Amino acid sequence: MKQLEDIRMILVSIYGEDGGQKALKAIVPLIESFPVQKSLKSYQFSEKDIVLITYGDTIEKDGEMPLSTFSKFADKYLKGVFSAIHFLPFYPYSSDDGFSVIDFHAIRPDIGDWDDVAKIGENFTLMFDFVLNHISSKSGWFKNYLNGADGFKDLAIEVDPSVDLSGVTRPRTCPLLTEIEKTSGEHVHVWTTFSDDQIDINFESIEILEKMIEVLLFYVKRGASILRMDAIAYLWKEIGTSCIHLRRTHDIIKLFRKILDIVAPHVLLITETNVPHDENISYFGNGIDEAQMVYNFTLPPLLFYTFLKEDSSILSEWAKGLNLDSVRNTFFNFTASHDGIGVRPLEGILPKEDVELLAENVKKNGGRTSYKNNPDGTRSPYELNITYVDALIKKEGNETDALHVKRFLASQVIQYSLPGVPATYIHSLLGSHNWEEGIRQTGRARSINREKLNFDRLEKELESPETFRFRIYTKYSEMIKIRRKQPAFNPTAYFEIIMSDPKVFVIKRACEAQTLYSITNISSEKVSISLKKETGRSDMEDLFTGKNMMTDSVGLEPYQCIWLV
């Protein structure tokens, strides 16, 4: 079987000839025992692919399990709008709001069970988090490691603290190594990239690799059609290197992809790599051997900058480079997530002073800035912690920003017009403001964008036209419903950036069935542009208003968005 030979070659690349053969013997039974999936066809992207990102307990109701409450909310407010639900880690955890997993195979008992997840999967494609770089120090696996149990002795990465690790790329400011004591009394230092509670997993161990493949296949059995590989860039460690984007990290992704191509080719892999654009897209591999999707991490901070400066020039130039060689790959476009707005992807695009300008604006709007340690001992901004809704506030003093809703929605229209699969964080859909109380409760800046919402109060706001949430949700969901019907928005459809007035962002999307022009005024001023030369037509219909517009003079109110067909 050629596919098994391909897997063997990948394993040899990772572990050498003898190790590769040993790993193959461990993995083949997992593949052969996996139940046949309903569909053995590779996934085909569609304009109907729209993802909602949420925690399993973002919406709560007294006397109900949160996953059951979310199911009711989804039936009423998400059906016909979103095609997929991305549940951030809903496993038992000890810290980092779910990303320090205690048990990969369980659902948190305080939010529901696997039956609740399956029920939601009846109406939506499911996307799970595959937290594979690290595991909780409170997990059974780590306790087995501490006890020296068979199969777990090599779970953690032990390093002599005298070794020079100054060249390792750091996403956090916490110590890279953590001292722990084993049951035997031995003291060792283990690798902890993200915190002392998040123990990095040692993929040099074939026994650990086998266990992680079992987790991968378990999620597929539980209904996952998309798997988000969390913090994947840091997976493989090699002393003397930066320990980011290493060849063996890419080999592990290729291995997972090959296994899924055999047992569940409909399942998509997406890499979460908050790094500059060229590094990010390296996880597409050759177009068919690694991830099908990568997070478009440059988009959130660059779009924020565009609206802050009211100038689309840099965004337009960057967007020209979003072409991909393979129709089997596409971007995962988002502006907000459970984390903040990462600024590392702006390296090489914006000067440091402009990144500092973003940080200053975030502070003015009630947000925070998180920093990372650099190899030279300095610190630099890593992430802006603020809801995307509040990032786009523009006001002087205490004066109300009358254009806030229009500006925020305009940013989302641009996101939804770019090539790729769009994803919306639930707090963006619901128009959530900064959650200051969350920061006070946890002491963590990221909590500002992770508020828990009461279902009854939320429903009341979504049904009341005078509320901010109603104004955001209603317009946002209407925009998505229109988009889902346009074949030109297929993630792999042709696109072209049209440079006109710097206060306007224009992108052409086209397929055999349709040509569409998305036009967004990113400024607080009225603007008029001509598109007659580009369209070859004197008038076209705006999908948002249903009205015909003359293409020789397209007039736009502040932050107005138009989809011309």
For the cut 90, the answer to whether the pLDDT of residue 535 exceeds it is: yes
Three-class SS string for 113-179? CHHHHHHHHCCCEEEEEECCCEEECCCHHHHHHHHCCCCCCCCECECCCCCCCCCCCCCCCCCCEEE
Q: CA-based Rg of the chain, rounded to a whole angstrom? A: 24
Quick one: tokens of 460? 């009341």
User: 34-43, 118-127, 446-455, 532-541 — which is least confidently predicted?
Assistant: 34-43
Please tell me the total count of domains within the chain. 1
For the stretch 88-125, pLDDT in tens is: 999 999 999 999 999 999 999 999 999 999 999 999 99
Residue 5 domain-assigned (yes or no):
no
Given a contact cutoff of 8 angstroms between Cβ atoms, the answer to whether 261 and 3 are in contact is yes
Q: What pLDDT was estimated at residue 171?
A: 83
Q: Which of 214, 22, 285 is nearest to 11 (CA)?
A: 22
> Mapping DSSP to helix (H, G, I), strand (E, B) and coil, where does residue 209 land?
helix
Residue 524 domain-assigned (yes or no):
yes
Whether 230 sits among the annotated catalytic residues: the reply is yes
Residue 224 domain-assigned (yes or no):
no
Given a contact cutoff of 8 angstroms between Cβ atoms, the answer to whether 358 and 447 are in contact is no
Q: 285 exposed, middle or buried (CB, 10 Å; 0-12, 13-18, 19+)?
A: middle
Residue 504 domain-assigned (yes or no):
yes
Domain that holds residue 508: 494-564
525: domain CATH number?
2.60.40.1180
d(CA 452, CA 56): 10
Q: What pLDDT was estimated at residue 395?
A: 79
Q: What pLDDT was estimated at residue 41?
A: 75
For the cut 80, the answer to whether the pLDDT of residue 378 exceeds it is: no
Given a contact cutoff of 8 angstroms between Cβ atoms, the answer to whether 233 and 245 are in contact is yes
For the cut 70, the answer to whether the pLDDT of residue 39 exceeds it is: no
For the cut 90, the answer to whether the pLDDT of residue 370 exceeds it is: no
Indicate which residue of 96, 197, 200, 230 is catalytic: 230
The count of other CB atoms within 10 Å of the CB of residue 351 is 10
Residue 537 domain-assigned (yes or no):
yes
Residue 523 domain-assigned (yes or no):
yes
Percent of the chain with pLDDT strictly greater than 90? 92
State the average pLDDT for the chain.
Answer: 95
Q: What pLDDT was estimated at residue 37?
A: 65
Q: What is the mean pLDDT of residues 313-336?
A: 96
Residue 486 domain-assigned (yes or no):
no
> Mapping DSSP to helix (H, G, I), strand (E, B) and coil, where does residue 403 land?
coil
Q: What pLDDT was estimated at residue 492?
A: 92
Reading phi first (left if > 0) and then psi (alpha if -120 to 50, else beta), residue 156 is in beta
Q: What is the mean pLDDT of residues 525-546?
A: 95
The amino acid that residue 217 corresponds to is L
φ/ψ of 373, rounded to 5, equals -85, 135
Residue 529 domain-assigned (yes or no):
yes
For the cut 80, the answer to whether the pLDDT of residue 439 exceeds it is: yes
Show Cβ contacts of residue 456 under 8 Å, excluding neighbours closer than 6 positions.
Answer: 61
